[in-house]
A = this chain, B = another copy of it.
Amino acid sequence: MTKALNSILTILLITLLSFTYCTGYSALEDKRIIEEYKRYLRTTNHALVARKLVHQADWAAVGSISTNEKITDFPMVNIISVDDSGENGESTGHIRFLLTDLDFTGPDWQHNNKVTFLFTDDQNLNCKKRGEDPMEPTCSRTILSGKVKQLDKNAAEYNDLVATFAKRHPAAKKWIKAHSFYLCELEIENIFVLDFYGGPHDIPVADYYKAKLKL
């Protein structure tokens, strides 16, 4: 469906450009957009766009299938603090986060381990600053789906990973001590990236991890 969606949206883009031509935009403007689109298709590394959006984010909007009695089987969307940094703050692509069974997401993933993380460039107001509507395709976003993997508290590296997470999220030290929070990682199964007209791109997980993000 994604390929079909891409084709449809590409056709729509062309239609849109023809349409704008008929409704007052200049032919010069059309040419500029078409050139920009060609350049975009030629040069954009969508895996890198995903990695950038993930690394810059302090949180994700996380979807789960709700087990809450008020909205059973509804999609739940919660705000979850995230970090993909390695020991020295570098981007690893590995999305880590702390969950507790006292919040919504904790019981949900244990009942049905299907989750989706949304990252948008407007979380940092980057689109707003550029005067772009947050829903415009040029306000880039990535949508990563997969499973929650609870990390082993007894593993040698567990405390180091928590300490690394707490560099970006100092409040996590308090959560770990006082509540029953546990560190998790997203086992990514599917990645969508939308960063321009023409529809979403489906990025192989291997390409995502392979991408080199220079900061």
Q: A-side interface residues toward B, CB under 8 Å?
A: 1-2, 5, 8-9, 12, 15-16, 19-20, 23, 58-59, 61-66, 68-71, 73-81, 98, 102, 104, 114-118, 120, 122-125, 128, 132-136, 139, 141, 143, 145, 169-172, 177-179, 189-190, 192, 199-200, 202
Contacts and interface: CB of A to CB of B under 8 A. Distances in A.
Contact of A145 (B64, B71, B178, B190): B71
15 contacts: A12-B102, A16-B179, A59-B134, A61-B77, A63-B77, A71-B116, A71-B189, A75-B76, A75-B77, A81-B133, A81-B134, A125-B125, A132-B171, A133-B172, A135-B171
B77 A62 contact: yes
Tallying the copies of this chain within the complex gives: 2
A77 B123 CA distance: 14
A167 to B, nearest CB: 12
Nearest to A172: B133
Nearest to A178: B16
A159 B117 CA distance: 34
A70 B120 CA distance: 20
Given A59-B122, A61-B118, A116-B74, A171 B69 contact: no
Nearest to A177: B19
A143 B68 CA distance: 12
A33 B65 CA distance: 34
Contacts of A81: 133-135
A73 B9 contact: no
Nearest to A70: B190
Contact of A69 (B1, B12, B114, B115): B1
B69 A136 contact: no
Nearest to A179: B12
A28 to B, nearest CB: 18
